[in-house]
Amino acid sequence: MTAVVQAENLGFRYGDEPVFSRVDFSLAPGDFAAVIGANGAGKSTLLRLMLGELAPAAGSIRLFGCEARRFRDWPKVGFLPQSAPTAGENFPATAEEIVMANLFASIGLLRFPRPKHKARVREALRLVDMGKYSKRLISRLSGGQRQRVMLAQVLVAEPEFLLLDEPTTGVDEAAAAALFALLTRLNRETGLTVMMATHDTERAAAHVSRVLCLENGSLLELDKAQLDEELRHKHKHPAPVLELIS
Amino acid sequence: MAVLQYDFMRRALIVGVLLAVIIPCVGVIVVLKRLSMIGDALSHSSLAGVAAGLIMGVNPILGAGAACMAAALAIEAVRKKIPRYSEMSIAVVMSAGIGLAGVLSGFVRGGANFNSFLFGSIVAISNFEMYLVIFVSAAVLIAFVLLYKELFFIALDERAARIAGVPVGAVNFIFTLLTAVTVSVAARAVGALIVSSMMVVPVACAMQLSRSYKQTVVFSVAFAVVFTLFGLAFSYYARLKPGATIVLAGVLCLVVIIGGKRIWEKLSERQRRPYENEDA
């Protein structure tokens, strides 16, 4: 079976500054993986390499067996950027119009949406629990609601692989919990392969099947014991400044 | 309708209404892509083409069209080189266009024709120019309708559009050409200094009231048509410059809408409060 993503000896650098090197991993269909790591560790860079927006400095990264830079079957891949909660903040479009935009591949160039496309849009909005807001301007929605609309926009194209960049940034606790619950359900019920870059290690550990940690320029897959250690480490916060002063 | 008894006024009406339909169609995308100044850059550059056309004895509208296209392609090229500061590309091309127009205008014999392009002369449109506007309007309108969803997606999120398979480069190139030809024909009618306002003001009015993207497009066109009809009639009776009157009518309408909206919001807030207190 072809891997959804396959990275071999992957390395990347911004100018002379190396970000990571010798990264090897693969995702099989149906995997639900989280990439964790500190700020600047290269999580978003790894996602951009998968999207073919950056060229590897070394090694290769393949999507569905094809070099990411040469990959053309993009409707198979859904991407939810970090900016999703602020997407369309000042854009005069309804949730429905925004979701419909991503049906481009299904509708076709220079063609117009048909009733079946409108039904798919309604279904995608219902799936993320935004059905009743379909006619609402995106600028009138909260950050969490906007993120759900953007997720519906990604899901409406029925991707086989879903990539998310820091999906819990800029949304409240309830919205983050609902998002993880939805992703888990989609992964279990439809076999959707999911990979996310996240800081939310605790929540990721409770939902995903694999955790990959980017640290010191290399990628390591964490087993249960390592993950527990990571969670304990994350909770060893330094004493508050006031406490230290007193 | 005594105003329509003259040929020149009938031509002005046809040209005005057609431009009022196509300029906001281009304007909606320009505004949503945060490139509102592109109209200014292209129209100022068009003046260089007008001057060159007058010097070489070529129809100045054709010269304006060629200059606009060159300027639009230059903006796209610079925008690709420095994507993080894309608005700088507009300033660079606008400076070059104004500079070139200034230098070339010194070689134009009899400045009246050149000056008519600054504020436009919709009532002095010739039959050839009217047919050119009809042809360009049909082309722009067909392209806008066919590329409706592609332009919407690119304006919303160029990266997502590319991932979804939209040929972003090709659509952007076509849109750039559409903008250039629209600006070049509009410069003759409403004036190079005013055309960018025609691109932005009706869209700004529509965005205050619309509840969807489709409504924004429809309202923008409707506002532009109303401003044009009012501007043409008012300028005829008050003996004012039509292009400038059309734009001033638009700006006045925008001020009234923004003011009216604020008053409406305050009134609705007051009406809501007593119920909120009752609930409390």
**Strand, coil or helix: what is A17?**
strand
pLDDT at residue A11, as a whole number: 95
Yes or no, beta carbons of A81 and B212 under 8 Å apart:
no
**Residue A96 in contact with residue A125, Cβ under 8 Å?**
yes
A182-191 contacts: CB < 8 A, separation 24 or more? A182/A127, A182/A128, A182/A151, A183/A32, A183/A207, A184/A32, A186/A155, A186/A162, A187/A30, A187/A32, A191/A29, A191/A30
The greatest distance separating any two alpha carbons of chain A, rounded to the nearest whole angstrom, comes to: 69
Chain-chain contact of B212 with A92 (C-beta, under 8 angstroms): yes
How many separate domains does chain A show? 1
Whether the per-residue pLDDT at A242 is higher than 80: the answer is: no
In A28-160, beta strands by DSSP E: 32-37, 58-63, 66-67, 77-80
Contact residues, chain A, for B212 at CB < 8 Å: 92-94, 97, 135, 137
Q: Do A74 and B213 touch (CB under 8 A)?
A: no
Q: pLDDT digits over A95-130, tens only?
A: 999 999 999 989 998 899 999 999 999 999 999 999
On the question of pLDDT at B111 being above 80, the answer is no
What is the spatial distance between Cα A136 and Cα B210, in angstroms, rounded to a whole number?
Answer: 11
Asked if B204 has any chain A CB less than 8 Å from its own CB, the reply is no
What per-residue confidence (pLDDT) applies to B275? 55
Return mean pLDDT, chain B. 89
**Any idea which of A45-49, A99-103, A143-147 has the lowest mean pLDDT?**
A143-147
In angstroms, the CA A180 to CA A206 distance is: 9
pLDDT digits (tens, 9 = 90+) for B217-227: 999 999 999 99
pLDDT, position A235: 44
Q: Does B201 have pLDDT greater than 50? A: yes
Residues of B in contact with A81 (CB under 8 A): 159-160
Q: Does A108 touch chain B (CB under 8 A)?
A: no
**CA–CA dist B77, B62 (Å, integer):** 23
* B156 with A137: Cβ contact below 8 A: no
- Per the CB < 8 A criterion, the answer to whether A103 and A122 are in contact is no
Name the residue with tokens 């100045």: B60
DSSP code of residue B117: H
Please enumerate in sequence order all residues whose Cβ is within 8 A of that of B59, keeping only pairs 6 or more positions apart, or say none: B53, B128
Confidence of residue B276 (pLDDT cuts 50, 70, 90): low
Average pLDDT over residues B69-86: 83
Closest Cα partner for B51 from B104, B11, B4? B104
Instruction: Give A216-226 pLDDT, tens digit per residue.
Output: 899 999 887 78
Q: In order of start, what are the domains of chain B with their CATH numbers?
A: 2-279 (1.10.3470.10)
Backbone angles phi, psi at A220, to 5 degrees: -130, 135
Tell me the average pLDDT across B199-208: 96
With CA atoms as reference, report the closest residue to A183 among A171, A167, A169, A199: A167
Check CB contact of B270 with chain A, cutoff 8 Å: no
Q: Domain span at residue A52?
A: 5-245
Direct distance between the N- and C-terminal alpha carbons of chain A, in angstroms, rounded to an integer: 61
Distance from CA of B232 to the nearest CA of A (A): 30
Token pair for A45:
């860079």
Q: Which of A192-206, A219-233, B26-40, B246-260 bottoms out in mean pLDDT, i.e. has the lowest? A: A219-233
Q: Taking the CB of residue A230, how many other CB atoms lie within 10 A of it?
A: 18
* pLDDT > 70? residue B59: yes
Pair B208, B257: CB distance under 8 Å: yes
pLDDT tens across B233-267, in order? 999 899 998 888 999 999 999 999 999 999 998 88
Query: Confidence class of residue A161 from pLDDT cuts 50, 70 and 90?
Result: very high
Q: Which of B189, B201, B172 is nearest to B27 (CA)?
A: B201
Hey, CA dihedral for A197, A199, A201, A205, is it positive or negative?
Answer: negative
pLDDT at residue A195 tops 60: yes
CA distance B43 to A37: 50
Contact call for residues B105 and B51 (beta carbons, < 8 A): yes
**Could you identify the residue written with the tokens 């024709």?**
B113
Compare CB distances from B164 to A92, A104, A110 and report the shortest one's residue. A104
Output the average pLDDT for chain A. 89
Cβ <8 Å between B166 and A104: yes
Instruction: Write the CB contacts of B46 (distance below 8 Å, at least 6 apart in sequence).
Output: B64, B65, B67, B68, B71, B97, B117, B183, B184, B187, B192
The residue among B243 and A86 whose pLDDT is bigger is: B243
More confident residue, A4 or A242: A4
Over pLDDT 70: what percentage of chain A? 95
CA B159 vs CA A117, B165, B245: distances in Å: 22, 10, 40
ipTM of the complex, rounded to two decimals:
0.84
pLDDT at position B277 is 52
Provide the β-strand partners of residue A214: A37, A219
pLDDT of residue A8: 96
| Residues in A touching B213 (Cβ below 8 Å) | 91-94, 97
Residues B150-172, mean pLDDT to the nearest whole number? 91
Say what the pLDDT of residue B274 is. 60
The predicted pLDDT at position A246 comes to 39
* Residue A152: pLDDT over 70: yes
Residue A79 contacts B where some CB pair is shorter than 8 Å: yes
CATH number of the domain to which A139 belongs = 3.40.50.300
Cβ contacts of B211 on chain A, cutoff 8 Å: 94, 135, 137
Q: How far is it, in rounded angstroms, from Cα B19 to Cα B42?
A: 16
Encoded tokens for B52: 């060159």
Q: Spell B185-198 as b/e; 16+ CB within 10 A means b.
A: bbbbbbbbbbbbbb
Lowest mean pLDDT among A79-83, B18-22, B77-81, B205-209: B77-81
Which tokens go with B91?
């300033």
| pLDDT tier, B1 (very low <50, low <70, confident <90, very high otherwise) | low
Rounded to whole angstroms, the Cα distance separating B263 from A71 reads 54
- d(CA B129, CA B187) in angstroms, rounded, equals 12
